[in-house]
Structure 1
Amino acid sequence: MTTKGGNMQHLQVYPKVAVAITSKHFNPLNLGRIMFSDKNRKIYGIALKCKVEKGVLTKLSEIADKIGAITRFIQVSMTEVSEPSVKAIAFLDLSDSNTAPEEALEIVRKHEFILEAQLIKPRANCLIFDDYFFPLVVADERAVIFRKKVYGALFAGVREKFGSAGEAMLYYQGFNVGYALCASHMSMNCAEDTECLIETAKAFSRTLGWAIIDHYKIDLKRGKGKLRVYQNFECEIGKGSKKAYSHFYRGVIAGWFHKFFGKPVDVKETKCIAKGDAYCEFLIRTI
């Protein structure tokens, strides 16, 4: 049962039947902006700044066809609705094209909707990557991507070096992160709308690759909550564990809900993919 805005007393999106891992919970998107290729292929990058108007993607596709290129990758930067321009990067395969890369660049630049265009050349004849746009930004803040080998080594190193003290360290680091995240989410015009606030947290957790918060149950009156989480990035690296593995992410949840409820909370991980469960489940209660 729900009511509107800040008067919401009970919010539940939590089906009774457990759901197995499906494409709903695992459908990868490659954001690398790095491509390795055979030395015999001619793959070049092009960094663009375009006007925001109808038909831009169609026009870009038509340009690629005109120069005989195959688009191997394209990524468009997020922009505010009111912004008049947008940034993009594409990797074009010119292996079967009669158009030289520099000539292709000039053809692109001649179009009125193209504000800027820069050619990105391959390195060592086998590697193309975005050496134009930097830094990465999410919601107007700089972002850094850690691959699994990196964050896995970070978490494993802390646990191996410091044992249970390292796990506590991960928890409290996560707590500070979660508290700051909730404060940030509240600043996004969501502070008075419980459902909007939680959906914002879900959105960032998923789009930043942390985990999929698939179902949740929040009881404001009793100060309790339950989260069902799929593909938890921390617990994924601990598969084979005999106990619940989450400390950093559990700390994030604790910090977030401490700020949300306005009082300390206890968070227990009752199910965990590291020990063979289909998903991670977290129980939250104020203390």
Structure 2
Amino acid sequence: MKSSRIESLNLAREGIAPNRELYGLYVTLLNKPGVIQNLLKKLTKNRVRLVCINTPSMEFTRPHMTVFLVGDFTKAYVGIDDFIQKLRQDRTIVSIERASEITKGVIIDTKHFPLTIHDMRVIMMGEIVLRPLVTTIRDKMKFLVDVVLWHTGYAIGIELTKLFKDTYGISKPCDYFAVLAARTIELGWGYVEEVKLNQIARTVKFSIQDLWECSFSKPSEKPQSHIYRGILAGMASVVFKTDMIAEEKMCIAKGDNKCLFIVRPK
């Protein structure tokens, strides 16, 4: 599996423009085809510039879905109150609620909570949190931290294997690592550019750009991935039903252009 990246995806659920006429809305819609397109058409027709929109993943079993959006009404044909009245005339719209300004020109989605991927809660931590967390632990715990992080990753790898099987109904070894690669990108851990699996030899090659735990450990004389290396070993041990290890042959912390992992029998 090889993939190519395009551009960054801004996950911020907010609109920021102190000198513009911004308004935020929570619009609850019937979960049926065409409702999102219809809402966007109404924004365009009234010359409301879309600043931010957050739509949940479609789940067919739910009758409704709530969309958070921030619109710039500075040059709109209608004011916010008239626009809301127009939306209320649409039978596919169940309810509308205004989002409050946090401070001047700043509107943030504070209604959608908790964040989830399917039924699993997700806690987002930016680099401003993760970097001092990792560097402080490394500084205080020294060499012990590498062992702790690896065992943590190994346990995560085992749990992820169970999760992938239950969620996606997969059973082939190649599918487990394909999903792991996709989820690594989806969650912003790193960009997996290549995965090669040899089922006969029971080896896996993982090539990753910008792996977060290594990017926080520059410069270094040795590879710095312990969590992800543990995840690969834990998952591979379950998938191949034997003790596996993951070695980091290249690492961005050392100055390499990517992190390269080789997973093999112990």
TM-score of the superposition, structure 2-length normalised? 0.91
Q: Deviations over 1:45-82 (max 9, x none)?
A: 11122223443333212321344421111121102345
Residue in 1 that maps onto 2:140: 161
Alpha-carbon distance, 1:98 to partner = 5.7
Give 2:8's aligned residue: 28
* Residue-by-residue CA offset, 1:185-232 (whole Å, 9 max, x unaligned): 122344422333222222211111112222122223332221111221
Deviates more, 1:184-193 or 1:124-133: 184-193
- 2:100 aligned residue (93, 103, 121): 121
Matched positions, count:
266
SS in 1 for 2:10: coil
Contact 1:190 1:196 in 2 (8 A): no
- Unaligned runs of 5+ residues in structure 1 are 1-12
Higher relative contact order (CA 8 A, sep 6+): 1
Residue 209 in structure 1 maps to residue 188 in structure 2:
yes
Judging changes above 3 Å, is the alpha-carbon distance between structure 1 residues 145 and 224 closer, same or farther for their aligned structure 2 residues? same
The 3-state SS of whatever aligns with 2:125 is: coil
Instruction: Find 2:27's aligned residue among 18, 42, 48.
Output: 48
Q: 1:241 to 1:78 in 2, by over 3 A?
A: same
Counterpart check, 1:137 vs 2:116 = yes
Distance 1:121 1:98 in 2: 22
SS in 2 for 1:131: coil
Task: Work out whether 1:70 is the aligned partner of 2:49.
Answer: yes
2:157 is the counterpart of 1:178:
yes
Partners of 1:36 and 1:267 in 2: CA distance: 44
Identity %: 23
Q: Is the Cα–Cα contact under 8 Å of residues 105 and 118 in structure 1 kept in the other structure?
A: no
| 1:9-58 deviation line (CA, Å, top 9, x unaligned) | xxxx47xxxx9xxxx336210111123322x3121111122223443333
Structure 1 residue 284 and structure 2 residue 263: aligned? yes
Task: Describe the shift of the 1:190–1:214 C-alpha distance in structure 2 as closer, same or farther (beyond 3 A).
Answer: farther
Alignment check: 8 A CA contact 2:149 2:227 kept:
yes
Structure 2 residue runs of 5 or longer lacking an equivalent are none
Q: Distance in 1 between matches of 2:103 and 2:167?
A: 45
Whether 1:194 aligns to 2:180 is: no
* Contact 1:190–1:197 (Cα < 8 Å) also in 2: no
Alpha-carbon distance between aligned partners in 2 of 1:226 and 1:191, rounded to the nearest angstrom: 20
Q: Give the conservation status (yes or no) of the 8 Å contact 1:171–1:248.
A: yes
What TM-score, normalized by structure 1, do the two folds share? 0.85
Tell me, what secondary structure is at the counterpart of 1:49?
strand
Q: Which of these residues, 239, 251, 266, is aligned with residue 260 of structure 1? A: 239
Deviations 1:115-173 (A, max 9, x none): 22211021221311002211111021111111011111211111011111012111111
Aligned to 1:219: 198
Aligned match of 1:109: 88
Q: How many angstroms apart in 2 are the aligned matches of 1:246 and 1:155?
A: 11
By how many angstroms is 1:106 displaced? 2.8
| 1:41 alignment partner, SS class | coil
Task: Kindly report the root-mean-square deviation, in angstroms, between the aligned alpha carbons of the 2 structures.
Answer: 2.1
Say whether the 8 Å CA contact 2:15–2:51 is kept in structure 1. Answer: no
